[in-house]
Structure formats: structure tokens, C-alpha cells
Amino acid sequence: MRIGIIGAGAIGGTLARRLAKRGHQVSIANSRGPESLAALAAEIGATPVSVVDAANTGEIVIISIPTKAVADLPRDLFANVPSSVVVIDTGNYHPELRDGRIDAIDQGMLDSQWVAHQLRRPVIKAFNNILAKSLLEKGVPRGMTGRIALSVAGDSFDAKATVLRLVDDLGFAPVDGGDLDNSWRQQPGTPAYCRDLEASALRRALAEADRSRIAEYRAEREARIRRDIASHHDESDKR
């Protein structure tokens, strides 16, 4: 498929690498322009493009940038993009660590609902609850034991089916995570977040999440990342 990726960092870059390897025609964009992506693109077999071109050349467009940066994308980015084009949001809102406070999300809007609102375009939430390293290294063909599962949430049946097939193509077991209103079940810190679970365990984890704890889950996750960064610094100081 033709796939445009906006964001060429840990997740966008990894998706570009893996998707190009699977034979997809991948275009990648970042905030600094295509020249800055020339070396990476040549290495992985993708085409470096502008953000506008990434949005306009794909049958699938993947948004993989910090949540706060979504507000900086061109206002009418998807105005002329056919509705058949599937837009995927890989994002996670990290208010303390990266994004600053986004009032609408703090007041209860789900991460991907906010992204869809900013883009004026429905999105499918996927690839937000796996770490880049697992995405790069742990995909295996269908039928192999221990295949990690990834959940996909969104409102369009057809768009979600396309993304579920993409998950499978990348070597992960596709799990329907419900509509976008259920996408909180795979947001930061939930039982289904970045735990490299197999399909049955992932379904259980999605089901056991508690909606009243969305903010708490997120805060716990951010605190954990902060602790991990601090202990990593402590280790470096000792060397």
C-alpha cells in the first residue's frame, strides 16, 4: 500500500522501516523538511517528503508526533484527502513529561478524540501501546507461538479492518479494541499499555481497565518513566 508517515522518530521511523521492508511504498515527513530525512529514507527504502505530501500521497496516513505538535500541523492538512484514506494516530498524551497541559484532554476528552478534533478527520488509534523496540524486533509471522497482539480502536469498520490487516502484516496479532470511545482502554498506564501481551491476555487487559482511573493510569505511567530516567542517570553518574 502507499503509506504516508508524519513523524520519523522512534515510532514513525520504526513503522517506516518495517513497512518498507514488507514491500509498502512509504513516504516519511518530519518538522524539519525532507532534506533532513534523506539519509534515513535511503537506508530504509522510503521517500522523504513534506508533511503536506505525506498526508496527500498515502492510502494510509500515520500521525506519529508528540501530541502537542498535532496542533502545529497545517490547519487544513486533510481538507483535500479522500475520506477513503485511513488516518492512524499512534500518539499518547504525556502532560508532565512532554506535552504540557491540554485542557480538553484533562477535562475528559480521549487522546485520539482530541487528535481527530485537531485534524478535523476521524482517526484510528493503533501502535500507541507498544514500545518502539518491541515494534522493531518482536513481529513474527502468523501461526508462530508467543505472537504479541496489538489493539486497534476506531469508529469506521472498514478503516479499522485495514489497520488490523496492517498489524497482522507487521507480525502482530490484531485485536479489535472497539470504537474510539473505547480507546481509553489502551491509553498510557492501562493494563493493555506496552506489556507485549498475546491476544487473549490483551483482550482481558482491555476488558479489565477502569474508566474512572484514566488520569491516574497516566500519572502512574509518567511517574514510572520519570523514575526510569532518574535511575538511568544515576547509573551513568557512577560510570
Q: Which residues bind ligand NAP (CB under 6 A)?
A: 6-12, 30-32, 51, 64-67, 69, 72-73, 90-92, 128, 131-132
Residue 8 or 44 having the CB closest to ligand NAP: 8
Identity of the residue, 118 or 162, whose beta carbon is nearer to ligand NAP in the bound complex: 118
Shortest approach of ligand NAP to residue 70 CB, angstroms? 8
Shortest Cβ distance from residue 141 to ligand NAP (Å)?
23
DSSP-derived 3-state class of residue 151:
strand
Q: CA–CA distance from 117 to each of 11, 54, 105, 134, 202 (Å)?
A: 22, 19, 11, 30, 28
Of 52, 104, 112, the C-alpha closest to 76 is 52
Query: What's the min distance (Å) between Cβ of 35 and ligand NAP?
Result: 11
Instruction: Identify which of 39, 68, 74 has the alpha carbon closest to the alpha carbon of residue 54.
Output: 74
Cβ 78 to ligand NAP, closest distance in Å? Answer: 14
CA 49 vs CA 6, 8, 98: distances in Å: 9, 11, 26
Q: How many CB atoms lie within 10 A of CB 72?
A: 12
**101: Cβ–Cβ under 8 A, 6 or more apart, which residues?**
95
Nearer to ligand NAP, 8 or 209 (CB): 8
Cβ proximity to ligand NAP: between 71 and 157 the closer is 71
Q: Closest residue (Cβ) to ligand NAP?
A: 9
Q: CB 105 → ligand NAP: shortest distance, Å?
A: 12
Q: Which of residues 30 and 237 has its CB atom nearest to ligand NAP in the complex?
A: 30
